[in-house]
């Protein structure tokens, strides 16, 4: 069959759309396009028309993002365009208002016209593009976008990046009658944020959601006064944010019983100015090397002394703090300590210690819905 000769006979798609709306939609779904994939079609974005709307979809087979924008549909249909090229083109159309998209369904070739110019792109057959799962009928729960973004920020730093223990690369979403708890841990630290639910969820369920998807999603949770609705089926979770739908596979496996890790009966409580401690640790880490990362804290006489010793020198910072309980010396990985402090909004933070070799509890003063746990560093020699 001669594709070129019959091209005009193939199914055509023809749409016009605002360059700005198209750019916004492309940048949204582009987050789901895999940087590397053995399946070439996944480097494309699916364009589909539906009445006077253009739907865009991208997926890496684990997670999918879909959105839509109003368009003038002259000939309905679908096409798969190379994601990088179409997105980069539309980002660079600074003074163009309308973009015309024409696809020849037989050759999968698309011509994008703007002003007096055009780009011709070779795409893929939309028939080969993976289909999106059906959204379940009933909403599990609805939350303000702003709240979910905040909650995610407070736990995502504790997610593991080590792929060989999959459950630790996700965030536990624990739905109880009254609360939603988000929990993440990489075994060195744990973060837990809870929020009361206005309406009881339609299922009491625990699921583990991949951190990677939540990271991308949190960048899309930017509509201040809008909600996000969460739906769940057997092995997927759906987040609906106005015109954006994000679906991801749930992680299989059992999340550890995190309550066992949270220290009880602490013997020394220390309350310190969050910013002062963050800055002191930041300076102490000046002298750190990839192999030497442990910052030592010494609690005595209402002073917390931050120490760091290295070959190049040593640093000592004294902070005025409030100590209730025994004197204590403890060492933490400086980066983990910094990560935990950065998610704290409150002016002061309380450390609750049970000993020099046991996990410490970190609580923002005046906020009972967030805690983090930090395992001390194994003491190094010559320190």
Q: Kindly indicate which of the ranges 23-31, 82-90, 258-266, 340-348 contains the residues binding its own copies, using the contact rule CB under 8 A.
A: 82-90
Q: How far is the CB of 324 from its own copies (least distance, A)?
A: 22
What's the farthest any 2 CA atoms get from each other in the chain? 88
Residue 117 interacting with its own copies (CB under 8 A): yes
Strand-pair category, 72-75 with 313-320: unpaired
* Cα(371)–Cα(206) distance, integer angstroms: 19
Residue 314 interacting with its own copies (CB under 8 A): yes
Pick the closer one to its own copies by CB: 259 or 289: 289
Of the candidates 272, 290, 254, 255, the one whose C-alpha atom is nearest the C-alpha of residue 360 is 272
Q: Kindly indicate which of the ranges 21-29, 70-78, 311-319, 354-362 contains the residues binding its own copies, using the contact rule CB under 8 A.
A: 311-319
Asked if 155 and 170 touch (Cβ cutoff 8 Å), the reply is: no
Residue 122 interacting with its own copies (CB under 8 A): yes
Tokens read off for 357: 């070799």
Q: Is the dihedral of CA 126, 132, 137, 142 positive or negative?
A: negative
Pick the closer one to its own copies by CB: 241 or 299: 299
Pick the closer one to its own copies by CB: 271 or 273: 273
Q: Kindly indicate which of the ranges 56-64, 66-74, 313-321, 327-335 contains the residues binding its own copies, using the contact rule CB under 8 A.
A: 313-321
Asked if 314 and 237 touch (Cβ cutoff 8 Å), the reply is: no
**Residue from 23, 121, 207, 304 in contact with its own copies (CB under 8 A):** 121
Cα–Cα distances in angstroms (integers) from residue 345 to residues 273, 339, 341, 363, in the given order: 11, 13, 9, 11
**Residue from 4, 6, 40, 118 in contact with its own copies (CB under 8 A):** 118
Asked if 133 and 236 touch (Cβ cutoff 8 Å), the reply is: yes
Using the structure block, give the residue that is written with the tokens 């190094």: 380
Pick the closer one to its own copies by CB: 219 or 275: 275
**Residue from 50, 219, 283, 342 in contact with its own copies (CB under 8 A):** 283
Mapped onto helix, strand or coil, the DSSP state of residue 89 is: helix
Q: Is the dihedral of CA 334, 339, 340, 342 positive or negative?
A: positive
Residue 116 interacting with its own copies (CB under 8 A): yes
**Residue from 8, 94, 164, 254 in contact with its own copies (CB under 8 A):** 94
Q: Kindly indicate which of the ranges 58-66, 215-223, 230-238, 315-323 contains the residues binding its own copies, using the contact rule CB under 8 A.
A: 315-323
Positions 319 through 338 that interact with its own copies (CB under 8 A):
319
Asked if 235 and 209 touch (Cβ cutoff 8 Å), the reply is: no
Residues 6+ apart with CB under 8 A from 289: 310
**Residue from 128, 134, 162, 282 in contact with its own copies (CB under 8 A):** 282
DSSP state of 10: S
**Residue from 56, 89, 297, 328 in contact with its own copies (CB under 8 A):** 89
Q: Kindly indicate which of the ranges 86-94, 131-139, 160-168, 195-203 contains the residues binding its own copies, using the contact rule CB under 8 A.
A: 86-94
* Cα(48)–Cα(76) distance, integer angstroms: 8
Residue 382 interacting with its own copies (CB under 8 A): no
Q: How far is the CB of 352 from its own copies (least distance, A)?
A: 25
Using the structure block, give the residue that is written with the tokens 């809870």: 194
Residue 20 interacting with its own copies (CB under 8 A): no
Radius of gyration for the alpha carbons in the chain, expressed in angstroms and rounded: 26
Residue 313 interacting with its own copies (CB under 8 A): yes
Residue 88 interacting with its own copies (CB under 8 A): yes
According to DSSP, the residues that pair with 98 across neighbouring strands are 18
Q: How far is the CB of 134 from its own copies (least distance, A)?
A: 33
Chain residues in the site for its own copies (CB under 8 A): 82, 85, 88-89, 92-94, 116-122, 279-280, 282-283, 286-287, 311-319
């Amino acid at each position: 069959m001669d594709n070129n000769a019959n091209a005009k006979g193939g199914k055509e798609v023809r749409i016009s759309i605002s360059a700005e709306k198209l750019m916004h939609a492309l940048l949204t779904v582009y987050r789901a396009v895999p940087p590397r994939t053995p399946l070439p079609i996944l480097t494309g974005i699916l364009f589909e028309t539906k009445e006077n709307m253009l739907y865009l979809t991208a997926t890496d087979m684990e997670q999918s993002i879909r959105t839509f924008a109003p368009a003038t549909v002259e000939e309905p249909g679908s096409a798969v365009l190379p994601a990088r090229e179409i997105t980069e083109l539309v980002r660079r159309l600074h003074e163009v208002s309308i973009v015309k998209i024409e696809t020849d369904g037989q050759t999968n070739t698309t011509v994008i016209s703007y002003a007096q110019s055009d780009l011709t792109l070779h795409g893929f057959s939309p028939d080969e593009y993976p289909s999106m799962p059906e959204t379940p009928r009933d909403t599990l729960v609805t939350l303000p976008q702003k709240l979910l973004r905040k909650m995610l920020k407070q736990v995502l730093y504790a997610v593991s990046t080590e792929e060989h223990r999959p459950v630790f690369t996700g965030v536990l979403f624990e739905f109880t009658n009254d609360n939603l708890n988000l929990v993440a841990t990489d075994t060195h630290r744990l973060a837990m944020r809870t929020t009361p639910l206005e309406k009881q969820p339609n299922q009491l369920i625990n699921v583990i959601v991949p951190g990677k998807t939540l990271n991308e999603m949190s960048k899309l949770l930017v509509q201040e006064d809008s909600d996000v609705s969460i739906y769940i089926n057997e092995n997927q979770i759906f987040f609906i944010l106005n015109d954006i739908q994000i679906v991801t596979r749930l992680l299989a496996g059992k999340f550890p019983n995190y309550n066992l890790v949270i220290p009880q009966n602490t013997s020394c409580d220390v309350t310190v100015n969050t910013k002062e401690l963050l800055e002191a640790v930041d300076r102490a880490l000046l002298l750190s090397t990839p192999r030497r990362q442990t910052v030592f804290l010494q609690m005595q006489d209402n002073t917390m002394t931050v120490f760091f010793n290295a070959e190049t020198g040593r640093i000592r910072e004294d902070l005025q703090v409030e100590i209730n309980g025994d004197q204590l010396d403890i060492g933490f990985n400086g980066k983990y300590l910094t990560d935990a402090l950065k998610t704290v909004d409150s002016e002061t933070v309380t450390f609750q210690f049970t000993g020099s070799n046991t996990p410490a509890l970190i609580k923002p003063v005046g906020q009972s819905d967030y805690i983090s746990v930090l395992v001390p560093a194994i003491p190094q020699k010559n320190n």
